[in-house]
Amino acid sequence: MKARRLVSLVAATLVALAPGTWSTITTWYVGSSASCTFNGDGTTKDCAASSNAAGRWRGFSAVNSNAASILAGDTVCFVGDNQAESAALVLKSGSAGLPITYTGDCAGQTARPKLARSSGTSTEFIGTDVSYVKVDFLQFTDSLSTNTEVIKFLATGTNSTDIEVGRVMASNALATAATPLHCIWFTSANGKTFANIDIHDNEVYSCGTAGTQNSDGINIEAVTAGLRVLRNKAHHNYNEGIDISAGGISPRVESNLTYLNGFSGIKVHCGTGAVSGSPVFAGNVTWGNGSWGFVWNDWPNTFFVKNTASGGNVTLPYGPATGNFGAAAIDSPNTGTCARTGNTYQDNIFEADYSAGAVRIYVDTKSVFEAGNPWDGNVLGQTGAQTTLLYFSADTGNNVTISGFSTWATGAHAHDQNAAPAWSGGAARNANGRITRPSALSAAGVATGSYTDVFGRAFVKSVGGVEITSQWQNDVARAAAGTRSAAGTRTAAGSRTAAP
């Protein structure tokens, strides 16, 4: 093994592990089994001239058989597409400050390599009891007929820490699946846990089996500290877009986009462990899912700010039979472990076409909810004929309705806004669920020109009709990031000005 690593010194970096000891950080290369005639020694990206000569490995099985050569700080670089794998790639632990990186971001390679299983019933990338691992810049395109996940981390014999999954695209359209098979999955057994988990800038889509709701785009369990879920896109999955049954100390869920999933866009609950510190749920955008936009169960003391949710008012072929739900559900099923209270809800946009409110609070009465959770500066809207904005399941006599909104929007809620149905009611939606035309501007007698509604969507009325100037999710994302004045509506630029 020493001789092999010395061969790589030309392209390697020397790193001091401790006084008087050194190791090389090496980049290893792997391509598909069909890309080269011979299996090389992994030290160059070219094909080997003979067996075990300088050249790239052939397939996942070659990476697994050379696992002893892959040391802390090394990089395994995937060269070109590899869509005919029969083996799962077994991830290996690095060490603190020296993770092992599995990536497609190799010198001279600008596109993500496409990886897929052609046979088998196990996960494509599996990391069991591993720590200090990074999976980066790869695309997984599985479509097997039997059970398989894409990337799975399992903590079962020891706790795992410092794992990063970033810039990954993953789909997993299965013909049949009896158990949940998520595209990116952190799961545990025997009371083991994860810490310092960073999931960012990924796109997960079509995860699961048509006609069943058993698989999420991203599913995260048993994180005790350092959870970061940032800037991910989850769409067209057969259950939740993102499902987090974890949290730990000061988790962050920010700037994720979820849409057209079979159930909710983002579901958050603490699972079996406590959530503490200063959690943040901010800047997330969700629309057109089969059920709720956000299911917010029981994280306490969270800054829930600048999020945008359009309720599940699009019927999906892989979602519920009828797709009308609210923008957000606030519940507390784990009150013995994570009593949901102390959350700050500010500068969010919630719209829906749902009889039980744009937002539904399941457990608390109105007075209990208001006393324990600051709420102000939020926009609430019903897009159809429904009139309830905030629905209290335990206190329906005190629901906040459109007719009673002026009473609600005083004092602690003085900056809340009712998105008038005249703007969003009756608006046509295209096949992707985006609002394309506000009925209010279609009315006779409305002058031609430019208009902006309370959601910050810019419209132009011309002689030929009314058109939206940019896509729905881009508009609401920009509005959610805007600033707020004492009173007013959001403009297309994302800031609030004086009320017209």
Q: Domain boundary residue among 384, 419, 454?
A: 419
In a domain, 466, yes or no: yes
8 Å CB contact between 458 and 448: no
Above 80 in pLDDT, residue 227?
yes
Same domain for 186 and 335, yes or no, is yes
The owner of tokens 């200090």 is 132
pLDDT of amino acid 281: 95
Mean pLDDT of the chain: 78
Question: Does some domain include residue 44?
Answer: yes
- Residue 82: beta bridge partners? 115
Q: Are residues 69 and 199 in the same domain?
A: no
Can you tell me the mean pLDDT for 372-383? 88
Do 52 and 153 lie in a common domain? no
84 and 99 fall within a common domain:
no
At CA 471, angle to CA 213 and CA 320, rounded to 5?
20
- Tell whether 424 is covered by a domain: no
Model confidence band, residue 396 (pLDDT cutoffs 50, 70, 90): very high
Residue 87 shares a structural domain with residue 97: no
pLDDT greater than 80 at residue 22:
no
Q: What is the mean pLDDT of residues 446-473?
A: 51
Give the distance from CA 120 to its chain's centroid: 27
State residue 488's pLDDT score: 34
> 425 lies in a domain?
no
Asked whether residue 286 falls in the same domain as residue 155, the answer is: yes
Lowest-confidence segment of 175-189, 190-204, 207-221, 319-333 by average pLDDT = 319-333
Among 60, 92, 124, which residue terminates a domain? 92
Count of domains observed in the chain: 3
Same domain, 394 and 452: no
Max mean pLDDT range (154-168, 394-408, 443-457):
154-168
Distance, in Å, from the CA atom of 198 to the CA atom of 251, rounded to the nearest integer, reads: 10
| Cβ neighbours of 51 (radius 10 Å) | 11
The kind and range of the H/E element at 372 are helix 366-372
Domain end (from 92, 122, 152) = 92
153 domain-assigned: yes
Residue 492: domain span:
430-497
- 41 shares its domain with 80: yes
Structure tokens at 71: 């040391």
pLDDT category at 395 given cuts 50, 70, 90 is very high
Q: Does residue 344 carry a pLDDT above 60?
A: yes
User: What b/e string do you get for 421-446 counting C-beta neighbours within 10 Å, with b at 16 or more?
Assistant: bebbbebebeeebbbebbebbeeeee
Supply the pLDDT for residue 462.
58
pLDDT (tens digit, 9 = 90+) per residue, 43-56? 999 999 999 999 99
Shared domain check, 97 and 74:
no
Judge if 350 and 451 occupy the same domain: no
184 and 46 assigned to the same domain: no
